[in-house]
Each structure stands twice: as structure tokens, then as C-alpha cells.
Chains A and B, each alone.
Chain A
Amino acid sequence: EAGVVQSPRYKIIEKKQPVAFWCNPISGHNTLYWYRQNLGQGPELLIRYENEEAVDDSQLPKDRFSAERLKGVDSTLKIQPAELGDSAVYLCASSLGGRAGNEQFFGPGTRLTVL
């Protein structure tokens, strides 16, 4: 069974440019998460989806970040415009959902470098 798929794996852009990350969760997983991991830190949640609904986006910087999960499967996270401080690893995770505390499975992440 395929795990969580993310692309691209690496992205280097100049500040003020837009960037987008794509995630395909494990088949059948209704809950999808986007986390950001800064160097030397643990991941922090940006947004959580239950099917196509964003149920927790309190930590998403909405002035420049946006996300969507059309049809409740794949998801895209966008940054526009990117800033130097956005350099980090962006991780996507999924779980079965339906109840709190389900095990989360992570993708390989996208490492973003903003120059």
C-alpha cells in the first residue's frame, strides 16, 4: 500500500515568488494535515482537513498561505508571496479520522528554501 505522497521533494525560490506543494494521502484516510517543521524543531500544525472541510486552520498565516482539498482527497498548500522565514520542511500527514487520536502517517516532506 502506498504511503503519503508529496511533491516536489525540494523547492528553491526567491522571496516574493509563489510556491505550491501537493499531497496525496493514504487511500481511505479522511483526515489530512499540513505541518511545518523549522530546523531543529518539531513539526507544528498549519491546517487540518476532515474530508474537504478545513476544521482547524488557526495556525495558518492566512495573509500569505492558502490550502485546498478538492474532492476530499489530494491537497495543495500555497504560499504567495514567500518570505525568507518560510524556509522550512512542509510535511503532509493523514489518518483514518472519525475519532480523535487516530495514528497519523507522514509523507517525506517538501524542503523549501527561500533566497
Chain B
Amino acid sequence: AQKVTQAQTEISVVEKEDVTLDCVYETRDTTYYLFWYKQPPSGELVFLIRRNSFDEQNEISGRYSWNFQKSTSSFNFTITASQVVDSAVYFCALSERKGGNQFYFGTGTSLTVIP
């Protein structure tokens, strides 16, 4: 079973629109971490955020915000006023305490921001 599901394979938005990327995870562990990575067209993987299972406070960093809801096992990522530079593939990942150093990645969401 997929531990991390990113149901949106591809999303296209027009510049300046807001967009939310969904991430749903599955774990029986009570202690875990969630991550978001960005993969721009150049191909590298860039770390964006890390959130632990005990901290459900939403986080905002500039135009980026993350909504963590344990009740729905979701860790969604919103980009406000999208820009062309936001065009990338975004990956959500899960690591569990019982899983040691194993990261479970979703299949990624490809975001295209149209100018």
C-alpha cells in the first residue's frame, strides 16, 4: 500500500493564482515526520519543509504555506500568488520512527504556472 499519496499528477494554473498540492499519508506510528521537496526543471531536489507529528500548527514562509491535519492524515502545500518560477514537481515524503531512516515518497505533483 502506498504510504504517501499525491493524487494530483499534474496541475496547471495561471500566474498569480493560488494553488494547493495535496498530500495524504498512512502510518500506524505515532511519531513521524513529513517533508516537502521541490524538483525544478533543472532536476535537483530542494528541501522545503519538515514537520513532526506533534506539531499541527500551520506554517507560512513567504508565499508558501503548509496545512497539517492529523485527523485527515494530510499535509497540504499551498502556493499563494503563484509565479512561473514555482513550476516544478513537488514531492511529499514521510519518515516514521519505527522505520528508522526510511523515507517514503509520494509520486509527485507536476505544477505548471502559465504566464
Q: Is this pair of chains taken from one and the same complex?
A: no
